[in-house]
Amino acid sequence: MFTRYTLLTVVALFGAPALAPAADPFADTVEKANKKLVKVFGAGGFARLNNYGTGIIISKDGHILTVASQLLDTSELVVHLYDGQRMKAQVIVTEPLLDVALIKIRVEGKKIDEDSGLDLDFFDALTAVRRPPAAAGDWILGMSNTFEIALRDEPLSVQRGVISAYTKMAGRRGIFEFPYTGDVYMVDAITNNPGAAGGALLDKKGELLGIIGRELKNSLTETWMNYAIPMNAKMTLKTTITVKDKDGKDVEQEKTVTVSMEEFVTKGAGYKTPVDKTLIPLGLGGYHGIIFVPNILERTPAYVEDVVPGSPADKAGLRPDDLVSFIDGEPIISIKALDEYMRKFTRPNQKIVLEVRRGESLQSIEMTLGQHPPKPKVPAPKP
């Protein structure tokens, strides 16, 4: 046991200085990744089986990759998004051999196999499964809802460490052997805690490397293991199948079956080709024509600085120094939140009701949104 620990320590000591950053580059990475992760709530809450865990969003309409635990054994599965929205979810498919499951957010009035109409930030799982594995000594970030510290809009916890080994492991849970026997990432961050399972193992840049595993013990050493199932996980098994021979008689034949994460996410989440999200023009929503005060803080309140002459805001009579507090009854805490609301929930020609604080009073202002004016074209660079 001591030898093993000594080894890990040495790796950590050599790994750290070689890549130690000058400033604090993780805060932005962490903030971005947090939007692509959910808190999962399901079955459990007794006998050290927690009823909370973590999930990784892998499609814009709400496919979520997580660990295939007892948590999913319920019809009341719920996820909390980064912005605090609580949504129902449903299991699509599980793969016990890889210990992963795919769940999907269920939107009211939509069938589970339809496009949910959501537009979420997500990890491109298909790119992730094709990325070469990280190596021992590489830095990692672990993000998860360890100990259920976060609820609703509270961000997940982040840990940092290095990959101690990319190797096979012999795990067990209680008396049960762990079915997955492929390669795993062993890390020196303490991820083996309640609620961490299903969290994201990221590289330094925030790219997805693997899924943080559950609370397993190493069956050789009886120690808690901090591991993650890699996105390129694969399991090969030999099995026998029954086929008909040329005479129509049943015969047994040996066959090798490969179960891979690539196949799992491709089929499960309906991936076709890798999509670069930055290339998709996002719907901008309706146009209001409000010019806000400079948006310098994470939560700059939505104070009107000016309105574009002739714009919907101008017509509706908005004035400088008005504070937009609610849109259609939804609280608007910042310029960012307002932009997001406009993009997600409004369209041109839609009527919205703004509640605006003007001095000491609150005014209800109705506004009909318009079409976004065309943006001046940027000339293409000459070859």
Q: Which of 13, 220, 257, 297 binds another protein (CB under 8 A)?
A: 13
**With respect to another protein, which residue has the nearer C-beta, 158 or 184?**
158
**With respect to another protein, which residue has the nearer C-beta, 152 or 347?**
152
Smallest distance, Å, CB 79 to another protein? 11
Q: Cβ distance 31 to 156 under 8 Å? A: no
- Between CA 248 and CA 33 the distance in angstroms is 55
Q: How far is CA 167 from the centre of its chain?
A: 25
Classify residue 113 by its DSSP letter: T
Residue 19 interacts with another protein (CB under 8 A): yes or no:
yes
Chain position carrying tokens 């299991």:
91
**With respect to another protein, which residue has the nearer C-beta, 30 or 134?**
30
Determine the interface stretch with another protein among 38-46, 53-61, 197-205, 326-334 (rule: CB under 8 A).
326-334
Provide the token pair at 241: 């199948």
Smallest distance, Å, CB 84 to another protein? 6
Q: Residue 189's closest CA among 178, 201, 181?
A: 201
Residue 158 interacts with another protein (CB under 8 A): yes or no:
yes
- Between CA 307 and CA 317 the distance in angstroms is 9
Q: Residue 138's closest CA among 82, 209, 51, 79?
A: 209
Cα→Cα distances 56→22, 202, 214, 283, 370, Å: 29, 11, 15, 24, 36
Residue type, 171: G
Q: Residue 55's closest CA among 37, 82, 28?
A: 37
Q: Pairing relation of β-strands 208-212 and 227-230?
A: antiparallel
Residue 342 interacts with another protein (CB under 8 A): yes or no:
no
Determine the interface stretch with another protein among 119-127, 228-236, 357-365, 367-375 (rule: CB under 8 A).
357-365
Provide the token pair at 83: 């912005």
Q: Which of 87, 92, 170, 308 binds another protein (CB under 8 A)?
A: 87
Smallest distance, Å, CB 301 to another protein? 9
Cα→Cα distances 209→13, 225, 245, 299, Å: 22, 17, 44, 31
Residue 147 interacts with another protein (CB under 8 A): yes or no:
yes
Q: How far is CA 65 from the centre of its chain?
A: 8
Smallest distance, Å, CB 135 to another protein? 17
Q: Is 342 exposed, middle or buried (0-12, 13-18, 19+ CB in 10 A)?
A: buried
Residue 157 interacts with another protein (CB under 8 A): yes or no:
yes
Residue 276 interacts with another protein (CB under 8 A): yes or no:
no
Determine the interface stretch with another protein among 4-12, 56-64, 235-243, 257-265 (rule: CB under 8 A).
4-12
Residue 346 interacts with another protein (CB under 8 A): yes or no:
no
Determine the interface stretch with another protein among 17-25, 123-131, 305-313, 338-346 (rule: CB under 8 A).
17-25
Smallest distance, Å, CB 288 to another protein? 19
Residue 282 interacts with another protein (CB under 8 A): yes or no:
no
Q: Residue 66's closest CA among 106, 103, 116, 120?
A: 103
Residue 155 interacts with another protein (CB under 8 A): yes or no:
yes
Q: Give Cβ neighbours of residue 177 (< 8 Å, ≥ 6 apart).
A: 170, 171, 219
**With respect to another protein, which residue has the nearer C-beta, 125 or 189?**
189
Q: Which of 2, 46, 109, 377 binds another protein (CB under 8 A)?
A: 2
Site of interaction with another protein (CB under 8 A): 2, 5-6, 9-10, 13-14, 17-22, 24, 26-31, 34, 48, 84-87, 141, 146-147, 149-160, 189-191, 193-194, 215, 224, 299, 325-326, 329-331, 333, 353, 355, 357, 359-360, 362, 364
